[in-house]
Structure 1
Amino acid sequence: MGWQDPQLVSTFAIRSLSLLALFLGAGLGLLAGSRPEVSGRVGGIPSPATSSPAGALPRNGGTEGIPAPVQPQPLPKTLPALARQAIAHYFATGQVLPAPEEIPPHWRRPAGVFVTVTREGRPRGCWGSLDPGGEDLARATIRAAVGAVTRDWRYRPLQPGELESASIQVAIVRRVVPIPSLEQVDPTRMGLFIRAGTRGAVLLPGEALTTAWQLSTAKQLAGIPADQPVELFRVEAELLHEF
């Protein structure tokens, strides 16, 4: 996926070859003190995301509304359910869902998270970050969920009445490991991140049947010539579905 900004880039793949962007910078792409968040599209060019303070993200259509009071809701049992709750809360109030005070122990660790929203088999928004920035899984999921329906301009924004029939996937990034060759990647279980200078792209696990397809597609998405050498990284991520 082509990219122009020297600080932000990535692509993220969802089930139907939807690709979401990944942040690049120092080391494995993390700049000290910053937490990149990015959007994606199917086979297109990602644009760098601009940060917004929590609770002040732009609403669908760019309009601002007066938040309506809502009653506290019970904590969902899964991260996809939490993502759905966060989107519903945002649609109702225009505000980011407050992070739950009590969360399960396995949600307390920081990790990169991506949320993908689809409806009728079509992507309607992808958003997330490889860098947890110190946030636990619950907070990272809430932030990514709201971003998926408000900040990914490449898709027609999901409307409140469409949420019930939409599907939500949460991807938890486990590890990004430098590798010497494609022989260390099983594309059915592992993703591939490539980098050449300030350009790069990533495909997540299960989006390709062969490493050759992973590599050629990632180069095309990043705007890297087919014959140019690249750094290779194996991406290990867990994909969570609602049902």
Structure 2
Amino acid sequence: MSREEQAWLLRFLRARMEGMVRHKPSRLPPLREIPEVWRRAGGVFVTLEVAHRVRGCSGSLYPRLPQRWQEAQRALERALHDPRYRPIRPQELSLVRISVTVVLAIEPIDHIGQLGGAEYGLVLRTQDGHEGVVLPYEGRLPGERLRWAYRKAGVAQSRPAQLYRLRAERFSE
């Protein structure tokens, strides 16, 4: 996606976030104003940071809504209400940095050594449906990311799991 398409989504999410935090909803854009790339289905994550510390993160590997901009809006709404973090206050809005991670592909790998560099994320799935996702650039070492994925899945590291490499494009304000 182009820088203009990235900038459009970041502007949209910024306006939505400010409206939600200030309890003054912003208008949804007319379909004709939405770039084509955001009108396709696909997984997306939204991360909110203040001073390089995560204050909310949510998203989906697979589309649940018909268009990716809708997925991003839903992820933003959930990130703003992420129970793991303190809510963002109106006076903090100018300090919030929005990052978007667009899921491009999920590829099975046989062992953690096949993960690759920090530009790849990790998806861990157990047979009973637990899942842990570590986005690209979260952590550097494959073993560290594997431990985080198990923790996010809420299961012991001794539990057998299928591993997947997550290819994604990430951009930020």
- Tell me the number of residue pairs that the alignment of Structure 1 and Structure 2 aligns: 167
Structure 2 SS opposite 1:78: helix
CA RMSD of aligned residues (A): 2.3
Take 2:92 and 2:11, find their aligned partners in 1: how far apart are those partners?
16
Deviation sequence 1:112-171 (CA, Å, 0-9, x none): 11111111232222222223224322222222222222x212211111221112111111
Q: 2: distance between equivalents of 1:208 and 1:162?
A: 26
Q: Which one of 63, 76, 81 corresponds to residue 11 of structure 2?
A: 81
Residue in 1 aligned with 2:58? 127
Matched, 1:174 2:129: no
**2:16 and 2:25 in contact (8 A); partners too:** no
Q: Write the distance in 2 (CA, Å) between the matches of 1:140 and 1:229.
A: 31
Pairing 1:32-181 to 2, within 5 Å after superposition: 77-95=7-25, 97-102=27-32, 103-149=34-80, 151-181=81-111
Q: Separation in 1 of the partners of 2:58 and 2:148?
A: 20
Question: Matched residue of 2:31: which SS?
Answer: coil
Give the match's secondary structure for 2:66: coil
**How far has the Cα of 1:174 moved from its partner?**
1.4
- Amino acid corresponding to residue 78 of structure 1 in structure 2: W
Deviations, residues 84-136 of structure 1 (Å, cap 9, x unaligned): 11112223445474243221122221111111111123222222222322432
Runs of 4+ in 1 over 6 A off after TM superposition: none
Match of 2:120 in 1: 190
Q: Secondary structure at the match of 1:170?
A: strand
Please tell me whether residue 215 in structure 1 is matched to residue 136 in structure 2: no
Structure 1 unaligned regions, length at least 5? 1-74
Fraction of identical pairs, as percent: 33
C-alpha change, 1:207 and 1:110, in structure 2 (3 Å) is: same
- Structure 2 stretches lacking a partner, 5+ long: none
Distance 1:99 1:133 in 2: 20
Aligned equivalents of 1:122, 1:181: Cα separation in 2:
30
Separation in structure 1 between the aligned mates of residue 140 and residue 172 of structure 2, nearest angstrom: 21
User: What is the distance in 2 between the residues matched to 1:117 and 1:192?
Assistant: 20
Query: Would you say the 8 A contact 1:177–1:235 is kept in 2?
Result: yes
Task: Give the Cα–Cα distance (whole angstroms) in 2 for the partners of residues 139 and 185 of structure 1.
Answer: 30
TM-score (norm 1): 0.61
